[in-house]
Amino acid sequence: MSVKQILLAGDPYERGLQYGRECRDEIRISLASYRRLFLKERGLDWETSQRAASRFLPFISGRYKTYREEMRGLAEGAGVKFEEILALNCRSEILYSSLGSERTPDECTAFSAVAPATRPDVVLAGQTWDYTVAQRKALVIVRLPQEGETPARLLFLEAGMIGGMGVNAAGLCLTLNALSTEGADLGVPLRIRMRSILDQNNINDAYREAVPMPIPFAANLLITQKDGVSLSLELDPSGCDVLIPENGLLVHTNHWLGPRMVLCHQHSDMASTYCRLQTLKQNLESRKDLTAEDIEAFFRDHRGYPVSVCRHCDSRLTGQDHEDDYQTDFAFVADLKKGTVRFVEGNPCEGEFVTLTVGSELSH
């Protein structure tokens, strides 16, 4: 596996410093990607993007001050400005909120499977992460050890960001689907909420970290706990709609499903979000006693190709258009009772899943 894995230790600033030093090349890829995307999608040059991100600073203080210190160390270690790291960690707000672009999110297929869809001793969750070709080279796996009551964490991140999808040693899994809305201007950024969710020990505390108002973005956060409960939280500036499993299954893509949210938002103009939801639901419902191996096979599904569950970029595109096109950059399936994660870099149809543990040991 070529994705860089790092294990961080020390106080928040020291962790960030180590992260920045060890992932300097990947961070510079992220910075180049978002410098380009902010301009292409929003017409915002890099300096304007950093000023837009700085508006969120008051919300990354107080109870979140350790994350701010981590970002400060990260910038120092990478040899870049703090404001640039802040812009990366506010990328969803800049691209998809009221500050954001007209591009409809069309990325990622997430699921949770608990009994009776699985055996009582199996709890599964995970997703495909569909994003730009360029950002595949910026993917890093960050491990954080247990710190007091905060459990060890395994995070799948775009380099330079401190929060994202992942699993922790308390048996929580967090996945993400981008959603589209006009949005509010300010609030706790998505990546900060995601990091805070995975710093918790149970789904109740995780929920309370996910939903505080104001919410400056639109997204679905699917949280699964190893004892077999899961919640799909559709968030927008008006609040939250909560979905619970049906027959042990939750599936989400990039359109609104909650009864209140459906009434508040227009339908997506991307057919793939509906087709991917249909495909994965049909596959999950076709099997009894689902296993991680079943999910790995389902993540290779090409119905609706190229914008299928296993998503491929448009082969007609070249140059920068190709780099900015979407593909599946990674996928993972967490077995939360075992405390293991099956991970594949790139398209699931082209790679082999490898096993990662959620503890402090690097996997090879």
308 lies in some domain: yes
Dump pLDDT digits (tens) for 233-277.
999 999 999 999 999 999 999 999 999 999 988 888 889 999 999
pLDDT band at 363 (very low <50, low <70, confident <90, very high): low
Dump pLDDT digits (tens) for 27-38.
999 999 999 999
Q: Please name which of 360, 358, 363 lies closest in space to residue 168, comparing C-alpha atoms.
A: 358
187 lies in some domain: yes
Extended beta strands in 161-294, E state:
165-168, 172-178, 219-225, 229-236, 239-243, 249-252
Residue range 156-179: mean pLDDT, rounded:
97
Which residues, 6 or more positions from 210, have their beta carbon under 8 angstroms from its beta carbon? 193, 197, 221, 223, 233, 235, 240
341 lies in some domain: yes
364 vs 176, which has greater pLDDT? 176
| Helix, strand and coil percent figures for the chain, each rounded to 5 | 35, 25, 40
17 lies in some domain: yes
Residue range 88-94: mean pLDDT, rounded:
94
Q: What's the total number of domains in the chain?
A: 1
CATH number of the domain within which 70 lies: 3.60.60.10
Please determine, for residue 100, whether its predicted confidence score (pLDDT) is greater than 60. no
Domain residues for 41? 4-357
- Half-sphere exposure at residue 64, Cβ-oriented, CA atoms within 13 angstroms: 22
- Eight-class DSSP state of 246: B
Please tell me the predicted confidence (pLDDT) of residue 170: 98
Please tell me the predicted confidence (pLDDT) of residue 97: 64
295 lies in some domain: yes
Report residue 175 as tokens.
């996945």
362 lies in some domain: no
Please tell me the predicted confidence (pLDDT) of residue 106: 80
Please tell me the predicted confidence (pLDDT) of residue 99: 47
Q: Taking the model in full, what pTM does it have? A: 0.96
Contact 236, 181 (CB under 8 A): yes
69 vs 359, which has greater pLDDT? 69
Rounded-to-integer distance, Cα 157 and Cα 191, Å: 10
Residue range 104-109: mean pLDDT, rounded:
84
- Eight-class DSSP state of 294: H
What DSSP letter does each residue of 132-197 carry, written as one string? ETGGGGGEEEEEE--BTTBPPEEEEEETT-S--EEEETTSEEEEEEE------S-SS-HHHHHHHH
363 lies in some domain: no
Cα-Cα-Cα-Cα dihedral sign, residues 87, 104, 107, 41 = negative
pLDDT band at 185 (very low <50, low <70, confident <90, very high): confident
102 vs 306, which has greater pLDDT? 306
364 lies in some domain: no
Dump pLDDT digits (tens) for 19-28.
999 999 999 9
Rounded-to-integer distance, Cα 245 and Cα 84, Å: 39
**How many angstroms separate the first and last alpha carbons of the chain?**
7
**237 three-class SS:** coil
Report residue 132 as tokens.
């730009």
Residue positions counted in the chain: 364
CA angle 283, 287, 290 (to 5 degrees): 100
Please determine, for residue 184, whether its predicted confidence score (pLDDT) is greater than 70. no
Q: Please name which of 178, 180, 183, 208 lies closest in space to residue 193, comparing C-alpha atoms.
A: 208
